[in-house]
Amino acid sequence: MGDWLAYGTGGLAYGNTESSINFFCTPGGGGCAGVTFAGNRSEVKVGWTAGAGISKAFAGNWNVGVEYLHIDLGRSSVTGFSTNGASPGTSITQSQRFTEDTVRLTVNYKFGGQVLAKY
């Protein structure tokens, strides 16, 4: 496409995820006795990424472009346990999905010229 390059990209993604839950059940709200729940979880998640971009060459070895990436690290859950002793052994669990959408501007410089292999 002349000085333009359109491309797709994809692959493995990983990252550290952190979740926490802090919940206070107000007394008198449907049999709730003022119980407080708390918990946290940290883990490395593995997922996938996919995206697309376009770039334009200019001024010799320079190019500028824009790229979009969608990252999906899947689901995780965190459990909060009763912390004030009003209901020992009681817990609540919350689940969430870890996704990220990123758009970035790229500026690149290509070093050197053509590479010719000599044998």
pLDDT tens across 23-80, in order?
777 766 566 667 788 888 899 999 999 999 999 998 888 999 999 999 999 999 888 8
Pairing of β 36-58 and β 91-109: unpaired
Is 0.75 surpassed by the pTM of this model? Answer: no
Structural contact between residues 78 and 41, judged by C-beta atoms closer than 8 angstroms: yes
- Domain residue spans of the chain: 4-109
- Sheet of 62-82: strand order equals 4-24, 36-58, 62-82, 91-109
DSSP label at 69? E
Share of the chain above pLDDT 70, in %: 84
- Looking at the DSSP bridge assignments, the partners of residue 104 are 67
